[in-house]
Structure 1
Amino acid sequence: MAIPARDSKHVRPQRYSADRLHRRLSVAAIVAGFLVAGMTVEAQDTPKSALLVISKREHALAIVDPSNLKVIAKVPVGDDPHEVTASSDGHTAYVSNYGSGAFHSLAVIDLVRHQPEKAIDLGALTGPHGLTFVDGKVWFTAEGAKVMGRYDPVAGKVDLVVGTGQNRTHMISVTPGGDHIITTNVSSGTVSLIDKESVRMPGPPPGMTPPPGAPRPPQGGPGGRTDWNQTVVRVGNGSEGFDLSPDGREVWVANAQDGTISIIDRQNKSVVQTLQVNVAGANRLKFTPDGRRVLVSTLSGSDLTILDAHTRKVEKRIPIGHGAAGIVMQPDGTRAFVACSPDNYVAVIDLNQLTMTGKFVVGDEPDGMTWAARP
């Protein structure tokens, strides 16, 4: 039988004796103590080397202990996260909020405290996607603005923007020192090779006197500033996943629409070979740390394709699920991890045996991955 509601104005307030109140507070303190103790037992510190994996569906970054493949913590990273990079000291992660070219922020995560920090608003640099951390700075692509940019965490500002003039500037790689940038431009079917070079400062036209206070160009030799020069290399349709060979000589590019791989000679800045390897839908491409093999994932098939980098032929195709996206190599070269987005797990690949040895779950629709290492 339902109990009729009483008017709050007619409810007599309860009175507790001092002893009864003390007993209630003591019980509450004990319960709180158990809860805190449980949280303390379950909480884990981030190991010095950790695997970071994005869960796109859960809008979270999973921090994974590579020794047991267990998720240590999950941290919210905002809407539509795609790629992740970590600072050189392993303390901070940065995640691109993509939004198919519409969003304009980078999420920032404290990897030690497992907490989000204030996001970086990129303003007009919309559609951030590809990320890398080089020379103490965050380098990113911005599809909506057709540029790549660089964010200085110390100064708290974007300190470099270089336009590509290409459609869907998507993934990025930067060489140590930050003098050479590589991006893939998906819809244009091109790769941008962007190099930092010294330029000569031209003096005034003959017969013209420089205005008062204008800097004098140096006499002879290059001028006192640098510029960025871009070479656009046509590869194949849907150029997206790519990697720079460990020796720095070649760029291998997976062309998703054509199902091919283009190999660019960096010195000559031209395609020297196109491999017909049937990798339609190719999403990511990565060299093993020793440079012997190349792994290619695809969202359009069940296999991870492994190529011999020397013979440039398919060595093996490993069934791993119903499609895959991100690839990351364990630094010691023993394992690779592949984000099987449609299956909601990460596949573990033994790089010695070339077999899938397991899988683990970090959250729905895993995608971008990277390593975070603390000294």
Structure 2
Amino acid sequence: MSKYLIVLNKDEDTLSIVDLDKQESIKTIPTSHNPHEVVVSKDGKKTYIACSLGNAVDIMDNDSFEIVKTIEHPEFAFPHGVDLTKDGKKLFLASTFCSKIFVINTETDEVENVFPTYQDKSHMISFSPDGNTVYVPNIGSHNVTEVDVESEEVVNHFPVGRGPEGLAVHPNGEHIYVANQEDNTLYVLDSSNYETLFKRRVGELPVRLVFSPNGEYALIANRYSHDVSVIQTEQKVNNQVRPWEIKRIPVGRWAGGIVFNDSGSFAYVANNKTNDVSIINMETLKEEERIDVGVHPDGIAYLER
């Protein structure tokens, strides 16, 4: 089984294919303008690339590592966050400047539904572990939109910190973690009632948040402090169990997209301004190596095939 990273290079309109065994980029592929966010299909055969300033979604064949189709839509306005339903049959996409959600059928690769969030700068897409709910952080409204996946309808909005961007639901489904870039905080919310349970200071301008596969850690990329906050989700101290930042790992300049390998033994961080990817060993919680990629890498995905 070969292991790869797919890294989007925003400022040169390319993506890099990184061979993790060789720890080097083995291919650079032209994309539409300004590729930002990326997700690999559930069967591993395709990769979807949201190209924000190009107002397009590119589709790459993962056998040939070539772009085979580009989806365009007249209402795209900075298409950005992407993720897939649990069965992989639909892709949800947040388009930032029109604040609309686009639903793409992954069998036909055509847009089949569009609906507004009624909020300002709807930016990312994150599914609940059961696949029933999509959460959309709205940077300009300082809140999060809840979308019912089956009906494809907005059902709720709830407040968080200022400028929410990074968001993920803990694998146990009980807590929602939100990184708020304008006030440099992490909010931890109860997913049953959206009550804010904890507030934590993190680094400067937190922009991405991902959980390790087992839920032990949340990693937050802090763009302006050039580091990654390591949140232990259940730190036990003095008969208390709480989420706590146990380390802040220095990486390259402008930490951005983060992804884990399938086992959770390593995490990979795209460094926007040093044009490389940091490899973080999750046992030692240290940066082990960096891999050179293209100009302004940000969106990143992991692929085994």
TM-score for the superposition, normalised by structure 2: 0.91
1:355 is the counterpart of 2:286: yes
CA deviation map 1:134-157 (0-9, x unaligned): 222221101122111111132342
- Corresponding residue number in structure 1 for 2:125: 172
Moved over 3 A (4+): 175-178
Q: 1:273 aligns with which of 177, 184, 198?
A: 198
- Corresponding residue number in structure 2 for 1:108: 59
- Corresponding residue number in structure 1 for 2:18: 64
- In structure 2, relative to structure 1, the CA distance for the partners of 1:165 and 1:344 (3 Å cut) is same
- Corresponding residue number in structure 2 for 1:211: none
1:157 is the counterpart of 2:88: no
- Corresponding residue number in structure 2 for 1:304: 228
After TM superposition, give the deviation of residue 249 of structure 1 in Å: 1.3
Q: 2:41 aligns with which of 76, 84, 87?
A: 87
- In structure 2, relative to structure 1, the CA distance for the partners of 1:153 and 1:195 (3 Å cut) is closer
CA deviation map 1:206-227 (0-9, x unaligned): xxxxxxxxxxxxxxxxxxxx46
Which secondary structure does the structure 2 equivalent of 1:57 belong to? helix
- Corresponding residue number in structure 2 for 1:131: 82
Which secondary structure does the structure 2 equivalent of 1:312 belong to? strand
Mean Cα displacement is larger for which, 145-154 or 174-183?
Answer: 174-183
After TM superposition, give the deviation of residue 166 of structure 1 in Å: 1.0
- The answer to whether the 8 Å contact 2:12/2:34 transfers is no
- In structure 2, relative to structure 1, the CA distance for the partners of 1:163 and 1:362 (3 Å cut) is same
1:320 is the counterpart of 2:242: no
TM-score for the superposition, normalised by structure 1: 0.75
- Corresponding residue number in structure 2 for 1:142: 95
After TM superposition, give the deviation of residue 270 of structure 1 in Å: 3.0
Q: 1:342 aligns with which of 254, 268, 273?
A: 273
RMSD: 1.8
- In structure 2, relative to structure 1, the CA distance for the partners of 1:300 and 1:62 (3 Å cut) is same
- The answer to whether the 8 Å contact 2:278/2:291 transfers is yes
After TM superposition, give the deviation of residue 72 of structure 1 in Å: 2.6
- Corresponding residue number in structure 1 for 2:238: none
After TM superposition, give the deviation of residue 294 of structure 1 in Å: 1.3
- In structure 2, relative to structure 1, the CA distance for the partners of 1:83 and 1:156 (3 Å cut) is closer
- The answer to whether the 8 Å contact 2:117/2:154 transfers is no
The 2-side partners of 1:123 and 1:176 are apart by: 32
Identity %: 28
> Unaligned stretches of 5+ in structure 1?
1-46, 198-225
The 1-side partners of 2:31 and 2:129 are apart by: 27
- The answer to whether the 8 Å contact 1:292/1:308 transfers is yes
Q: 1:249 aligns with which of 167, 174, 199?
A: 174
- Corresponding residue number in structure 2 for 1:200: none
The 1-side partners of 2:102 and 2:195 are apart by: 24
- Corresponding residue number in structure 2 for 1:293: 217
Matched to 1:147, the amino acid is K
- In structure 2, relative to structure 1, the CA distance for the partners of 1:162 and 1:60 (3 Å cut) is same
Matched to 1:338, the amino acid is V
The 2-side partners of 1:124 and 1:261 are apart by: 32
Matched to 1:272, the amino acid is L
- The answer to whether the 8 Å contact 2:23/2:291 transfers is yes
Structure number with bigger Rg: 1
After TM superposition, give the deviation of residue 177 of structure 1 in Å: 7.0
The 2-side partners of 1:136 and 1:98 are apart by: 23
- The answer to whether the 8 Å contact 1:257/1:281 transfers is yes
- Corresponding residue number in structure 2 for 1:372: 303
- The answer to whether the 8 Å contact 1:89/1:373 transfers is no
- Corresponding residue number in structure 2 for 1:189: 142
After TM superposition, give the deviation of residue 253 of structure 1 in Å: 0.5
After TM superposition, give the deviation of residue 229 of structure 1 in Å: 4.0
After TM superposition, give the deviation of residue 373 of structure 1 in Å: 3.6
1:282 is the counterpart of 2:206: yes
1:261 is the counterpart of 2:186: yes
1:121 is the counterpart of 2:72: yes
CA deviation map 1:253-295 (0-9, x unaligned): 01111011111211113322222x2423111111111111111
The 1-side partners of 2:128 and 2:172 are apart by: 11
The 1-side partners of 2:124 and 2:136 are apart by: 5
CA deviation map 1:107-143 (0-9, x unaligned): 1111211221231012213211001122222211011
Higher helix share: 1
- The answer to whether the 8 Å contact 1:256/1:282 transfers is yes
The 1-side partners of 2:210 and 2:108 are apart by: 32
